[in-house]
């Protein structure tokens, strides 16, 4: 059966170069970076090269890159680590109502520790209210965290404007950005943009699972949340994931090679999908859909069909997508993003996300649209029955 993978925002197939360097690091250069003999030096070189690649992609200093186990740890470290380090300066944190669970749940934890959190609203396109941000900022604010690209509908937040508003109010307020769905899709320059911390996950850019990084500006005060042997200058203890770092470094180099062509390809797929979806009866495409939205994500609501039912019907045809409410921002089973944009009740359990990667083709888009054209009338009749 034909396989069409449109769930690249969940995870991606690794580049061949990633696979090859990881095999080398697993089977030949398998030393521990803490070892002082040749094997340790070989392992350390993989980590050093990966750090160089990441720092170069962001135009930041290598010492400002901390390797982690992925986006969730990076977000936890940024939020919890800085909140605890700056508690004496204030207890107010700001985020949005559409954040990923790896931001939302640490915020809930920090509320339990006595911090006050403001959750900013968004408009129907998922764009955060800048006026609400201005109103929320106060003398007690120590941290603002806003995602770059929303993982459910591809809304792109005005991070540069947010950084300007935050730092104009108080240069000492830290601005953290969850860039897990944005890195590799956009050229990001934290120093120029005003981003103090930036979270990234390797497996969203055709790299391996279980590795990511957190950019931390050298002026930022942050407490470790993992203690142990003092690796990475004591900021993130634990034996470095050498194969993971090596794979991440290779993915970074590959994703930003001929980058503009890769992004043009994703936008072409997105445009084709959106145009096809809008020709179908009872289909609502969520949010913005042009170049003012993320290139890899299309979210659509299918009137009269439950998302889970349609997802599995597509799976039977070899097409893999995800439910728009699968990654809950706030409560299990309820999408904080879909609630946040004010989506009508009849569509809340009917949203699917189609997310593209560099390996996808226009022919695959057409195959998916043909499948939807065939399935939707049948599934709607079944539901009415």
Would you please indicate which residues are annotated as catalytic (active-site) residues? 327
Q: Which of 300, 292, 289 is nearest to 372 (CA)?
A: 300
The dihedral through the CA atoms of 361, 364, 369, 370 has a sign that is: positive
DSSP 174: E
- What does the alpha-carbon distance between residue 266 and residue 356 come to, in Å, rounded to a whole number? 7
Q: Which residues contact residue 312 at a Cβ distance below 8 angstroms, ignoring those fewer than 6 apart?
A: none
State the residue for tokens 């941290």: 143
Contact between residue 159 and residue 150 where contact means Cβ atoms under 8 Å apart = no
Q: Which of 196, 210, 168 is nearest to 82 (CA)?
A: 196
The dihedral through the CA atoms of 34, 36, 40, 42 has a sign that is: positive
Which helix (DSSP H) or strand (DSSP E) does residue 118 occupy?
Answer: strand 116-120
| DSSP codes of every residue in 266-299 | HHHHHHHHHHHHHTSTTEEE-S--STTB-TTEEE
Q: Which of 88, 141, 58, 154 is nearest to 354 (CA)?
A: 154
Burial code of 290-304, b = ≥16 C-beta within 10 A, e = fewer? Answer: eeebbbbbbbbbbeb
Residue 316, judged by CB atoms within 10 A of its CB (0-12, 13-18, 19+), counts as exposed
- What does the alpha-carbon distance between residue 329 and residue 110 come to, in Å, rounded to a whole number? 16
- What does the alpha-carbon distance between residue 383 and residue 385 come to, in Å, rounded to a whole number? 5
């Amino acid at each position: 059966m034909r396989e069409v993978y449109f769930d690249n925002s969940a995870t991606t197939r690794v580049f061949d170069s990633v696979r090859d360097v990881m095999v080398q690091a697993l089977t030949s250069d398998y030393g521990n970076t803490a070892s002082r003999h040749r094997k340790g030096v070989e392992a350390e070189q993989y980590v050093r090269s990966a750090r160089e690649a990441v720092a170069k992609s962001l135009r930041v200093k290598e010492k400002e890159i901390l390797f982690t186990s992925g986006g969730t740890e990076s977000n936890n470290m940024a939020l919890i680590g800085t909140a605890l380090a700056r508690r004496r300066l204030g207890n107010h944190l700001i985020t949005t109502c559409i954040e990923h669970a790896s931001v939302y749940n640490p915020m809930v934890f920090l509320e339990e520790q006595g911090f006050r959190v403001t959750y900013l609203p968004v408009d129907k396109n998922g764009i955060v209210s800048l006026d609400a941000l201005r109103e929320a900022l106060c003398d007690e604010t120590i941290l603002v965290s806003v995602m770059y690209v929303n993982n459910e509908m591809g809304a792109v937040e005005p991070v540069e404007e947010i950084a300007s508003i935050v730092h104009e109010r108080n240069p000492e307020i830290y601005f953290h950005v969850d860039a897990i769905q944005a890195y590799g899709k956009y050229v990001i320059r934290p120093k120029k943009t005003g981003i103090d911390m930036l979270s990234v996950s390797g497996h969203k850019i055709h790299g391996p699972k279980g590795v990511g990084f957190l950019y931390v500006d050298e002026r930022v005060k942050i407490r470790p949340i993992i203690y142990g042997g003092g690796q990475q200058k004591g900021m993130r203890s634990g034996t470095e994931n050498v194969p993971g770092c090596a794979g991440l470094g290779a993915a970074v180099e590959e994703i930003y090679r001929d980058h503009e062509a890769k992004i043009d390809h994703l936008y072409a797929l997105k445009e084709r999908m959106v145009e096809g979806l809008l020709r179908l009866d009872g289909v609502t495409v969520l949010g913005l859909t042009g170049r003012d939205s993320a290139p890899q994500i299309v979210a659509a609501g299918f009137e009269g069909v439950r998302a889970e039912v349609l997802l599995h019907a597509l799976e039977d045809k070899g097409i893999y997508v995800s439910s728009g409410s699968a990654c809950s921002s706030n409560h299990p089973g309820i999408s904080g993003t879909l609630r946040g944009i004010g989506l009508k009740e009849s569509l809340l359990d009917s949203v699917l996300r189609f997310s593209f990667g560099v390996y996808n083709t226009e022919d695959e888009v057409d195959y998916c649209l043909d499948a939807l054209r065939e399935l939707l009338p049948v599934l709607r009749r079944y539901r009415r029955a």
